Amino acid sequence: MKKIELEIIALSHSITQSNSYAVVLGEVNGLRRLPIVIGGFEAQAIAVALEKMKPTRPLTHDLMKNFMLAFNTELHEVIISDLQEGIFYSKLLCSSETDTVEIDSRTSDALALAVRFGCPIYIYENIFDIAGVENPDQPAIVEKPQATPVSSNQDLKNMPLEDLNILLNEVLEQEDYIRAIAIRDEINRRKKG
């Protein structure tokens, strides 16, 4: 089956399900998009890796990567391999010195690992034909993804810089990395401008 390479282009609140997020994958050198609804923890895991944040303790996906590397196992690619009743199924293509295996995975976990390993993400063409959406208003080449923050950007813009720094420390202690990204971006915006 023909595979199409995808990249993560957006991460935001899901407009279809409350307390969920949507990760939007875009066709590399193409216009089609693939929105996938994921849970909050998985969204946070993806956002942390996209923003290259270093939590004080390893998150579950960091632990998985460390475990794989400790046993000389490399993640080569993620393949979104099936779609059944609106649920995407994925596989991790991994290899060690002696073997190559495909491991079944939830798509959200596979994406969190792909970001950490820097490996390509693929989808089979027949699945993309069914679930992908054409987006002619977007250019084929997009900037690096930014996680959409949980908190309102307008609220952050109204806070004094000192309060933002205090809030940043608080949300980092709570390990709310998605919100921390928004606060950090607002602090950086003020420092630049």
The mean per-residue pLDDT over the stretch 142-166 comes to 63
Tens of pLDDT, residues 2-34 = 999 999 998 877 655 666 788 989 999 998 999
65-80 exposure pattern, b = at least 16 Cβ within 10 A, e = fewer: beebeeeebebebbbb
What is the pTM for the complete model shown? 0.72
Contacts of 35 (CB under 8 A, 6+ apart): 22, 23, 24, 25, 133
Name the packing angle between helices 177-192 and 40-50 (round to 10°): 40
User: Could you tell me where the DSSP H helices lie in 26-160?
Assistant: 40-50, 60-70, 107-117, 125-131, 153-157
- Report pLDDT digits (tens) over 40-49: 889 989 999 9
Read off the tokens for 133. 């959406």
Report d(CA 22, CA 41) in Å as an integer.
12
The structural domains of the chain, ordered by start, are 3-134 (3.10.690.10), 153-192 (no CATH)
R_g over Cα of the chain: 18
Residues in the chain: 193
Query: For residue 93, which phi and psi values (nearest 5 degrees)?
Result: -95, 110
